Structure formats: structure tokens, C-alpha cells
Amino acid sequence: MTSYLWMWVAIVGAGLLAWATKYAGHVVPERFLENPRVHRIAAYVTVALLFALFAVQAFTTDGAIVFDARVVAVAVAAVLLWMRAPFIVVVVAAAAVAAVLRLIF
């Protein structure tokens, strides 16, 4: 098979997997979903996925771990959030730090 055909096999397979996942969500018994343990796990999974997305976007470039302006900007934002600064101040300060560091380096 050609690579073009394999690409379409992967696309159709991913579509079927997405459909099966959504269907499974509809057929799971409600008593299972009301379990407090399921609620706790769902909350932790959400936080873990968001943190993983953040880590990949902030600390990697082309598959390699890097230390650049983004890392310093995140640190500035974390300190400002810890100091309970208004969100717009956090965003502007982090963007300004990243811009200045990218200009310098």
C-alpha cells in the first residue's frame, strides 16, 4: 500500500475511534458516573492534561527541552499570580519580559 492510502486508513481509523469513544460515553450506566471517585479522577485528569499541554508549549522546541524567554516569562507570571496581581497585569508583564528577553538574546 502507498503512504497516501495509509494516511487515509489512519484518518478513517481515528474517526472510528472518536465515534466509539463518544458512543461509549452514552452507554455507560449513570450510577457509574455518579461515583465520587470518578468525579475526583476526572478532575485530576483535566488538571494533568492542561499541565502537560502547558509544559510542552513552554519548555520544548522541536522535541528538545529548552530554557528561553518563555520559561522566564512563566516564572514572572507565577510570581505575580502568587502576589495576587490582577490577571491583566500578569499577562502584560509576562509578555513584556518575554519580548525584552527575545530582543536581547
pLDDT tens digits along 2-58: 999 999 999 999 999 999 999 998 999 988 889 999 999 999 999 999 999 999 999
Residue 19: which domain range?
A: 1-30
User: 89 with 80: CB under 8 angstroms?
Assistant: yes
Q: Kindly report whether the global pTM for this prediction surpasses the value 0.85.
A: no
Q: Give the pLDDT of residue 68.
A: 93
Name residue 61's beta-bridge partners. Answer: 64
Residues 104 and 71 in one domain: yes
Number of domains the chain is built from: 3
The set of cell numbers assigned to 103 is 530582543
Please name the amino acid found at residue 35. Answer: N
Residues 71 and 58 in one domain: no
Residues 23 and 55 in one domain: no
Which SS3 state, helix, strand or coil, does residue 60 take? strand
Q: Within a 10 A sphere around the Cβ of 84, how many other Cβ atoms?
A: 7
Q: Give the pLDDT of residue 1.
A: 83
Residues 2 and 16 in one domain: yes
Residues 45 and 18 in one domain: no
List the one residue out of 99, 49, 47, 103 whose CA is nearest residue 70.
Answer: 99
Residues 44 and 72 in one domain: no
Q: Give the pLDDT of residue 92.
A: 98
Q: Give the pLDDT of residue 33.
A: 86
**Cell 500578569 belongs to which residue?**
90
CA-to-CA distance for 99 and 70, rounded, in angstroms? 9
Residues 72 and 58 in one domain: no
Residues 53 and 71 in one domain: no
Residues 75 and 104 in one domain: yes
